[in-house]
Structure 1
Amino acid sequence: NTAIDSQRGEILAVEADGKPSLLVLYGSNLGTAEGIARELVEKGRSYGIPSEAATLNECVGRIPRQGVVIIVTASYNGKPPQNATAFVDWLKGIESEEARDVNYAVLGCGDRSWSGTYQSIPRLIDERLEEWGGKRLLSRGEADAGGDMEKQVETWQHMLWPQVLSVLGISEEAIKSSKPSASRLQMEFVREKTDMPLARTYDASYATVVVNKELQALGSGRSTRHIEVLLPEGMNYREGDHLGVLPSNPKQNVDRILSRFGLRGDTPIQLTSDVSHLTHLPLNRPVKIHELLAYCVELQTPVSRTQLQELANHTICPPHKRELEGMLNENSYRDDILANRITMLDLLERYEACELPFERFLELLPPLKPRYYSISSSPSLNSEQASITVSVVREPAWSGKGEYLGVASSYLAGCSSGEDILMFVRTPESEFHLSEEVDVPMIMVGPGTGVAPFRGFLQARAVMKQRGLSLSEAHLFFGCRNDSDFIYRQELEQYEREGIVKLHTAFSRADGKPKTYVQHLMKENSEQLIHMLMSKGKLYVCGDGSQMAPAVEETLQQAYQKVQGATVQQAKDWLIQLQAEGRYVQDVWAGNKRTGETPKTVHEEVH
């Protein structure tokens, strides 16, 4: 799929009647950039512009010079998303004429928590297109998942559309006269049954749960599940890969929606639409309403500004309408909506005078995203099964109304042995894999569920040892609160006794002891760690990227300065070089969010 066929190329480049076109290209692993791209396409169409969306890889060597090209992409540890790798490789080696006179704009998705690689791919694309003669319409936009991402995208669009319309020769009056669109989704009641399209989108298959057990000791106050699945025939994985899970929304939220709209969950309906961004919905075939709400759409994301405006537009009570419009104020939206994670459903229940049709409600909901878990097993031990380690999210809702249940973690925690789940294997872009060279020293840092991929590494090393191979030096820095929170304890300590790994355990809540984190133990072993890294060793870090990962980096830099007598800058350059050589790799997320591009569902579990 590195190039589009000639027929689609003609459609993307320009419509048959010669109208100018808008082509929105995206690079997206988790769906955020793709979602923004499709929103831009629908906006373009609302202005009467023939518009299409495609992956960056689909347009290798085929960037149209007519019309406008908008690129929305993320970065993953400084590398492009999977559906943008071929495009980026091509862009690095193109001839000067291949991008000349292309009217373009770039919007980058990312997270400032990873300052070293933040916006690296969007920046590269933006600069290379300009270098080879492209015409930049406006400065590159930056959407930071750690901030108010929706507001940043909205602000960039306000600057974008006048430029687009100017290039295409369309009057800016189109913007002023543009009105919120009515629902383009139609619904009728039918009598049949159908499957869900998201499974096809991610090429997901059914795997059977064979083990689902609690790892936390009684009284720990937490729940961490060890889940093993029997993989479908022909599905393979490597240590360090991710398992993507397509979950089901909690029944309590589905029931709330049915109650609000006066619908029965077992009623079959059929949806039809003439817009392209609703590919997550089962169109033109029957589906039961409860299946639609359980498996197709996100229900727990904070209400967006677009959704808020639509709620206000459909509210017939003037005071309530003003209240909803008041929430669009930047301070109110930040302090009242985002801070309390108020959903569209919360507001529909609060404002009964809102007469938003069910079809429009569905249309406004984002697609249900898969959740990604590091595989915590090795195919060397059992290639037919894979395990994941799931931290179950269940806590009082920030809104003050009831409990917040993590969509995927609660769903998985409730899966019984013999039950099937929809899943797929995804290889991370960060080279987070066990080295094929057995003599490479290993430093693994994984507090909490961040230990998951390293369990797979250690299983593989145990198999190597059984086969008579000589193992390299390996250290695992694991962190937990106390003995009750020490997951996989027996396994890890057994691996240490067998010489598979040297285990360093940091307890942050142990009775009568000072708080100790993984970086503290790394500092105590700084000389040994620096020696390992100077001897072609590899460093793996998995877990929280907001506090743990930066603290680990700082500890390593200080250790390098001390051991090597280096300056602060030299230590930073050394760490950057390790990353460039693929000897320092991360699988981290900020709070609940994976590196680079993140789903808009903040406060959702990952491991």
Structure 2
Amino acid sequence: MNSDQRSRFDALLAELSTDQQSWLGGWLTARTGGGPALAAPATAGAAVSVPLTILYGTESGNSEELAARTAKSAKSRGFKPTVKNMADLSPADLAKSERLVVIVSTWGDGEPPETATSFYKGLMSEDVDLSKVSFSVCALGDTSYEQFCKTGKDVDARLATLGGKRVAERRDCDVDYEDSYQEWVEAAFTALAPAAVAAVSEISPVVAPVGSTFGKKNPFPAELLDKVLLNGRGSAKETWHYELSLEGSGLTYEPGDALAVLPVNAPDVVEDILRAARLSGSESVTPKGGQAKPLAEALREDFEITTLSKAVLKKLAEVAPASESLAALLADEGKEELREYLWGRWIADAIRQFAPDGLSAEALTGVMRKLPPRLYSIASSPLEHPGEVHLTVASVRYDAHGAPRKGVASTYLADLVENGDSVPVFTQPNKNFRLPTEGDTPIIMVGPGTGIAPFRSFVEHRAASGASGKNWLIFGDQRYQFDFLYQLEWQDHLKNGSLHKLDVAFSRDQPEKVYVQDRIRQRAAELFAWLEEGAHFYVCGDASRMAHDVHEALIDVVTTAGGRKREEAEAYLEDLKKSKRYQRDVY
């Protein structure tokens, strides 16, 4: 089989399920006189049934999706995989696993996923004997953050400290993780497989998941049906409501899920980086996995051309080795100087400073990563808006270092897309942010600013499905007159009984600042009573401050209204998390 035939054959395999691959293997065997029609290689491998634990920790769903893919491939190679969520077991449980692979994300600036926090803390502090465990770790992260893949690195090191045997090196994956993941899982399977399984592995390739025609690999061109500015004239904010059509896509979603938007870079931003690199834009480049195209087109469609990170600076240092000032910046031991430099600057700024003579097209694209999709919480119910998906997006615009800055995806939607235009999208499940299965369960929703998005979906869905449970919304923003997002809709929900209680906090309408956490403390007795009745508590919005402040307010609620000590209040909230009654979608 030549390379072209192998490439086409691999493409065919990627479209087939495990059962279909088994049938094909048997059919080929029969065609060549090698045995009965259904004697599939994968079936022979599956008979070996070597136990393999696949442990994942996820925030946005990527690690969970990779865990499912890993299990599917492991089964075809003769393993007996068991998939475990970090939220559902303790570190001591790992001692029962002779073979272990871990896929875990890092969230924000070095934090473990929300649902994996308890497991992570336990693993870092408990003394567990893992001397009989062979393991390998795949870490997911984002190189735009300083603590890239920190959770995966910590877990990898701790497993080894506790006696585990690292049989395949940890792989740290950026947002464009497909190739790195494939290399890691191949190495892990090879290292963990006994001889019988290894023989099966040689003929059972790891394949991408089979799903609908449209998805992450093939985004759907969703037509923009409508866009509405939600803030009133005079607001300091710019928040848009977008309505997109999913008709004919085959894409589905549930309340709590996210929509991934694949943006393009703005023309003025592309021109700026071309000027910095002293290039015309007509130079030919070939993006990874793509076709040759003019540089300007590639910068617009394929590359992350704004976000400056330590990883980008390191690559820039390789193509601009004469820059002593860049070398000194990267050598900063305390990291404070580097952290300050990165804030508010773009890649073009660094090129102007450290490569003033410009870069070749190849060198320029070499310092950049693939333009990643942006995830937004879905703001609609599929029951209320069949065939559509709605978003609530704040346009990011600010000034830094004497120049205007803007968010790539938020201003792509605001400035470059009009009604009738297409937006490439796919849906991203979020199983860690779900409505209660019982419709009569009360819920409390805290969503300041664009954090209101999933709760619009929640209330619409509960109303459309006839759920009888009480719904309490706590919303906050800057000014009542300008920033009460979806005000008329909430008033209608109050009138028709689908929203039972609404509290608002507008921080700039009075001399003293008032936030959602203040309303939580003011309603402590009633809120605790709802929790004691079995209410689920949800938070969506800013992770850096708001989510922490709301958590502290909840602790105060349990201590004051519940009469518990702080340690007891923390344990109370931890129990809520474990029972999935306290869920957060923060960013």
- Settle same-fold status: TM greater than 0.5: yes
2-structure distance, mates of 1:326, 1:527:
56
Structure 2 residue aligned with 1:219: 234
Map of 1:504 onto structure 2: 503
Q: CA deviation at 1:264?
A: 4.4
Structure-2 change in CA distance of 1:150 and 1:94 (3 Å): closer
**Residue number in structure 1 paired with 2:292:** 286
- Evaluate the alpha carbon distance shift between residue 125 and residue 57 of structure 1 in structure 2; reply closer, same or farther with a 3 A threshold: farther
Which residue is 2:379 aligned to? 376
Match of 2:305 in 1: 299
Gaps of at least 5 residues in structure 2 are 1-13, 26-40, 43-54, 168-213
Rounded to whole Å, the distance in 2 between the matches of 1:114 and 1:95 is 23
Which region of structure 1 is more displaced relative to structure 2, 517-526 or 570-579?
517-526
Letter in 1 for 2:260: G
Change beyond 3 A, Cα 1:251–1:491: same
Distance 1:433 1:153 in 2: 24
Residues 460 and 344 (structure 1), Cα distance of their counterparts in 2 relative to 1, 3 Å cut: closer
Deviates more, 1:124-133 or 1:373-382: 124-133
Cα RMSD (Å): 4.8
* SS of equivalent residue, structure 1 residue 149: coil
Residue 407 (1) aligns with residue 404 (2): no
Question: Following TM superposition, by how much is the alpha carbon of 1:581 offset from its aligned partner in structure 2, in angstroms?
Answer: 1.0
Stretches of structure 1 lacking an aligned partner (at least 5 in a row):
11-24, 38-52, 66-74, 81-87, 169-198, 272-280, 590-607
Shift in Å, 1:470: 6.5
Q: Conserved in 1, the CA contact under 8 Å of 2:57 and 2:104? A: no
Alpha-carbon distance change, 450 to 262 in structure 1, aligned in 2, over 3 angstroms:
same
Q: Answer whether contact 1:477 1:503 (CA < 8 A) is retained.
A: yes
Report what 1:562 is aligned to.
560
User: Aligned partners of 2:463 and 2:357: how far apart in 1?
Assistant: 61
Partner of 2:538: 540
- Structure with the greater relative contact order (CA < 8 A, sep ≥ 6): 1 or 2? 1
Query: In the alignment, is the contact (CA less than 8 A) between 2:145 and 2:309 conserved in 1?
Result: no
Give yes or no for contact 2:244–2:388 (8 Å, CA) kept in 1.
Answer: yes
For the structure 1 residues 107 and 474, does the alpha-carbon distance in structure 2 shift closer, same or farther, using more than 3 Å as the test?
Answer: closer
Matched with 2:450 is 449
Provide closer, same or farther for how the CA distance between residues 258 and 561 of structure 1 changes in structure 2, counting only shifts above 3 A: closer
Which residue matches 2:3? none
Pick from 473, 478, 502 the counterpart of residue 481 of structure 1. 478
Q: CA deviation at 1:421?
A: 0.4
Q: Which amino acid aligns with 2:524?
A: S
The 1-side partners of 2:486 and 2:553 are apart by 26
> How has the CA–CA distance of structure 1 residues 302 and 120 changed in structure 2, closer, same or farther, with 3 Å as cutoff?
farther
Which position in structure 2 is the counterpart of 1:259? Answer: 275
Equivalent position to 1:311, from 307, 313, 316 = 316
1:256 positional shift: 2.3
2:425 counterpart (423, 426, 437):
423
2 CA distance for matches of 1:117 and 1:484? 35
SS in 2 for 1:360: helix
Q: Mapping of 1:42-53 within 5 angstroms?
A: none
Partners of 2:151 and 2:437 in 1: how far apart? Answer: 42
**1:92 CA displacement:** 6.2
Q: TM-score, normalised by structure 1?
A: 0.67
Match of 2:394 in 1: 391
Kept in 2: contact 1:254–1:294 (CA 8 A): yes
- Aligned pair partner of 1:240 in 248, 256, 276: 256
SS at match of 1:550: helix
Distance change in 2, residues 1:385/1:93 (3 Å): same
- Give the letter aligned to residue 252 of structure 1: D
AA at the equivalent of 1:372: L
Residues 313 and 566 (structure 1), Cα distance of their counterparts in 2 relative to 1, 3 Å cut: closer
Structure having the higher helix fraction is 2
Distance 2:392 2:541 in 1: 12
Deviates more, 1:455-464 or 1:239-248: 455-464
Count of matched residue pairs: 483
1:522 aligns with 2:520: yes
In 1: Cα distance, 2:339 partner to 2:507 partner = 33
Q: Using a 3 Å threshold, how does the CA distance of structure 1 residues 540 and 30 change in structure 2: closer, same or farther?
A: closer
CA distance in 2, matches of 1:372, 1:498: 32
Where 1:243 maps in the other structure, the secondary structure is strand
1:134 aligned residue: 133
For the pair 1:531 / 2:529, whether they are aligned, the reply is yes
2:390 partner letter: S
Q: Aligned partner of 2:423: which letter?
A: I
Question: 1:87-130: per-residue Cα shift (whole Å, max 9, x none)?
Answer: x99x969965x42xx8x999873456679756656688999996
Matched, 1:229 2:230: no
